[in-house]
Structure 1
Amino acid sequence: MKLTKWLGISAAAVAAALLLVGCGNSNNSSSGSNGKSITFWYGGDADTAVKPMVDAFTKKTGIKVKIQSIPWSQYNDKLLTAAASKSGPDLVLMGTTGMANYVSSKSLMDISKEVKSDKNISPDKYFEGSVRTTEFNGKYYAVPWYVETRVLYYRKDLLKQVGYNEAPKTWDELYDAATKLSKRGKNMYGFNVDFAEPTFGFMFARQNGATLIKGKTPQFNKKPTVEALEYLAQFYKNGASPKQDLKLTIGQSFGGKAPIPMFISGPWMMASVKKDAGLKDDQWGVAVLPKGKDNNMSNTGGGNLAVFNYSKNKSSAMKLLKYLSTESSQLKYYKNSDSMPTLKSAWTDKSLSDSRIQVFRKQLNSSEPMPLIKQWDQIGQNYLKAWEPVAMQGANVQKAMDQLNSQTEQLLNK
């Protein structure tokens, strides 16, 4: 499941949330204070993936759990309302990109004591990139629950036709293979440079040695980032990547003749390829990202479990958090949802032995979250606006990044 991006808390948003509370939004209140009934807010359209574990928890502990399943498109607004009214869930599923907002608003409980005293949820049990999304100023506010990262999807059969018996391993090879694949005919491309994903360009910038932000000083107009984005812009200029969304299904873009035979995406795309692309097993694969000048760094995302700071049932909420954080629960959740475990030990289980799945495991060793600051989502949206004329019209990358850098400095210094 791909998490939608979280918007930062602003004074206007909090005011709007308070207005909603005043209009009688009483369904978000915590379930009493006897600790025998708690509320768990879960992101998604249905709770079928998590309900079996929650039912098992209730059977074991006697603590009843009301799961409130909220679509990700509405999740942030609901949580803003709860934070503003200081009433809401006991346990909450947090998208990793939303952590900084809710830590800064003091909406999440500091669980450092529990994390440091319970070896089962010790930070060393998890992937480093996931742990970083839970720790702020030396304190822990969540436990990693599921993780995702991005890898390269590619058509093995078509790459072989242009001289590649395996996936490109470097930027040079990626560009060469994509260019050759784009020569197959009209409306054929080699690689998708995603201009609708706000982390895409920053991921490549890190591969080129960029530090995105130092303290409160953005580095977007510095050489490492500009060079990386100029590299990506070349795919548009030579026709190796489409300049706009082609509105194709995965079956249309990656199946058949594959107008787009290489793209970068997360684990949620695996099921779609298997179901809709109509490919034989040996026609496609996934690989760790090609290496830039410095590394092949990918982006860490996923979901964390946190206790709502205004819960009256913190002890019971922590019990559920710990129960869902066990290796067996994470593996059951993976089976039900394809959301990958954050516990490193879980990856030895046979359910994750598929060679394609293990590529994600390998990539997680070279994967980091985007900067954990509350302004990041707005920065991402500003990046997309700055990048669009580069993709569509061939605008100057340096000028676009100068503009983004200036906008970001203003955001960070408010």
Structure 2
Amino acid sequence: MARITRRRVLKLSGAGLVAAKTGGLAAIVATGLAPAYAQGTNIHWLRWADFVPASDVLLKGQITQECKKATGITLNVETINANDLQSRITSAIQSRTGADITMAFGNWPQLYTESLADAGDVAEEIGKAQGGYYDVSKLVATVGNKWIGVPWAIVGGLIAYRKSWFEEIGYNTFPETWDALLDAGKKLKAKGRPIGQTAGHTFGDAPSWWYPYLWSWGGKEVEADGKTVVLNSRETIESVKFAVGFWKDTCDEGGLAWDDTNNNRAFLSGTISATNNGASIYIEAKRKPEAYLTEKGAPMWNDILHARIPKGPGGQFNLPGPFTDMLMGYSKNQKAAKDFLRWMHSKPVFAEWFTSQQGYADGATRDWEKDKVWEVDPVLLPFRDLPPFGRLPGYAGPPNRKAAEVVTKYIITDMYAKAIQGMPAEDAVKWAHDEVVSAYA
């Protein structure tokens, strides 16, 4: 995958050589690098298997080599399916053995507060050096005054859609309201081109669709006090009733069992017309123009655009996906792990990874809004602007442990899935309300 060329100061053999080359200790401090590292230590970093494979190749190859040269740390990058991360985290905490640093998605860190080391010194350094964190990144990585992780990046979701197919049914731009999308979706499904979405137990695509959908109707889990559960409302019931008809009339009904990969494959195979997703579908289609073709034999990437989830009577929202590097409390390599985090999150090193993402991920700090990666492809530019305008699970309350438990149990997703499968809307909402009450008890 093509990447923007950058000057890599970290190809030098160590922090001392970097200082000599770039102006001494002041230059090191300016880049966020510590002047001394824990030499000869192994650090195990557990991450998801990235939807931009080139980024994993970069981390396991070039970045790992640079880390050894610059810090003396031997880096072991392990990647697994994101849906398996939580079980690995739980197992590691229970056995007190496992990765030194684990990447967490959304508000997962809130679930493990007591098992995480304080990473405040590193997090504060990086945030101060890079324009400050987005609120969504800081909220999930802190409990009170304690940083329970170092914010890494934010993955936002937009609807990828086939421009020509929507134009064929009279929509030159993506529908802005649910009623308009229902109209368009009916016409597309009649042509064998349904909308594809998941209502299954999968970590990313399900919550990032159903939470903004709920909010767009004016529904919410709790009040701002973070205690009063208000899910069982007229707004929520109306959203469920509409969702049942929308699913039947516009969607690929197999989506009930989809995980975060199924919609990517369905879109790229030409069997669905639109799906809420990160930028990975477009990036993959662009990376392999000869492999992913339209029905007319043209490269599919030229026929893909992105749009926000439609607005409803309650507004228009998105659910950002903040990623956080959690320093595990059981790790015996605390200093080396912090040294690695300082190095990896510093601008020169993070820039290499950020560039490889090509717009799939936003930075956790605001400085990355100005990065040149956003000048490369206007089709990806809308992803840059998602982080400041999102809500987090648990709205209108904080995205705390209780809100994280609701996400992890897929209560909101299951509320809609149960109704889609035949449960009366009122019953599905009452079931979900009671489950949220239990989580917040």
Give me the TM-score of the superposition, normalised by structure 2: 0.74
Aligned to 2:281: 269
Separation in structure 1 between the aligned mates of residue 211 and residue 80 of structure 2, nearest angstrom: 30
Instruction: Compute the displacement of 1:204 (Å).
Output: 0.8
SS in 2 for 1:227: helix
Contact 1:123–1:131 (CA<8 Å) still a contact in 2?
no
The alignment of Structure 1 onto Structure 2 pairs a total of residues equal to: 371
Matched, 1:396 2:424: yes
Q: State the 1:102 CA deviation.
A: 1.2
Partner residue, 2:198: 194
CA–CA separation in structure 2 for the residues paired with 1:39 and 1:271: 31
Aligned 1:121-140 pairs, distance under 5 A: 121=128, 125-140=132-147
Deviations 1:345-385 (A, max 9, x none): 223333332112211112333223323324224431x4444
**Which consecutive unaligned segments of at least 5 residues does structure 2 have?**
1-37
Report the CA distance shift for 1:295/1:130 in structure 2 as closer, same or farther (over 3 A).
farther
- Normalising by structure 1, what TM-score? 0.78
Aligned match for 2:381, one of 338, 346, 358? 358
The Cα of 1:143 is off from its aligned counterpart by 1.8
Give the conservation status (yes or no) of the 8 Å contact 1:327–1:346: no
Q: C-alpha distance in 2, partners of 1:232/1:55?
A: 49
3-state DSSP class of the match of 1:92?
A: strand
Give CA deviations for 1:216-257 in whole Å, capped at 9, x if unaligned: 3433221232222323222134x222333398976884468x
Equivalent of 2:183 in 165, 176, 197 = 176
Deviation sequence 1:173-218 (CA, Å, 0-9, x none): 222322333343xx443x3353225413222111233332232343
2: CA distance between counterparts of 1:259 and 1:87?
Answer: 44
Give the 3-state SS of the residue equivalent to 2:213 in structure 1.
helix
Q: For residues 59 and 101 of structure 1, do their structure 2 counterparts lie closer, same or farther at Cα, with a shift above 3 Å needed?
A: same
Instruction: Name the counterpart of 1:375.
Output: 405
The equivalent of 1:5 in structure 2 is none
Counterparts in 2 of 1:76 and 1:229: CA distance versus 1, 3 Å: same
Deviations 1:107-126 (A, max 9, x none): 1112234434x254569533
Residue 92 of structure 2: aligned partner: 82
**Alignment deviations for residues 266-307 of structure 1 (CA, whole Å, 9 cap, x no partner):** 223323444454144442211222222233211111421122
Separation in structure 1 between the aligned mates of residue 265 and residue 345 of structure 2, nearest angstrom: 38
State yes or no: 1:207 paired with 2:216.
yes
CA RMSD of aligned residues (A): 3.1
Equivalent-residue separation in structure 2 for 1:251 and 1:86 (angstroms): 36
Greater shift after overlay, 283-292 or 247-256?
Answer: 247-256
Whole-angstrom CA distance in 1 between matches of 2:321 and 2:238: 25
Amino acid at match of 1:405: H
Q: In 1, Cα distance between the equivalents of 2:206 and 2:66?
A: 39
Q: Which moved more, 1:354-363 or 1:305-314?
A: 305-314
Instruction: Give the distance between the partners of 2:85 and 2:266, measured in 1 at CA.
Output: 31
Q: Would you say 1:37 and 2:41 are equivalent positions? A: yes
Tell me the amino acid that sits aligned with residue 278 of structure 1: L
Distance of 1:342 and 1:378 partners within structure 2: 22
1:409 maps onto 2:409 in alignment:
no
Structure 1 249/143 Cα, relative in aligned 2: closer, same or farther at 3 Å?
closer
Q: Distance in 1 between matches of 2:144 and 2:227?
A: 15
TM-superposed CA distance for 1:134, in Å, is: 0.8
Bigger shift: residues 149-158 or 71-80:
71-80
% identical aligned pairs: 19
Query: Residues 364 and 168 of structure 1: is their aligned pair in 2 closer, same or farther, counting only changes over 3 Å?
Result: farther
SS in structure 1 at match of 2:253: coil
SS of residue in 2 equivalent to 1:299: coil
Work out the CA distance in 1 between the residues paired with 2:78 and 2:310: 40
User: Which of the residues 252, 256, 261 maps onto 1:242?
Assistant: 252
Aligned partner of 1:22 in structure 2 is none
Task: Report the AA paired with residue 269 of structure 1.
Answer: I
Change (3 A) 1:397 1:48: same
Answer yes or no: is 1:343 the counterpart of 2:365.
yes
> Using the alignment, how far apart are the partners of 2:48 and 2:264 within structure 1?
24
1:178/1:70 Cα in 2 relative to 1: closer, same or farther (>3 Å)?
A: closer
**Equivalent position amino acid for 1:398 in 2:** E
Which residue of structure 2 aligns with residue 48 of structure 1? 57
Quote how far apart the aligned CAs of 1:337 are.
Answer: 5.2
What is the letter of the counterpart of residue 188 of structure 2? L
Q: Secondary structure at the match of 2:311?
A: coil
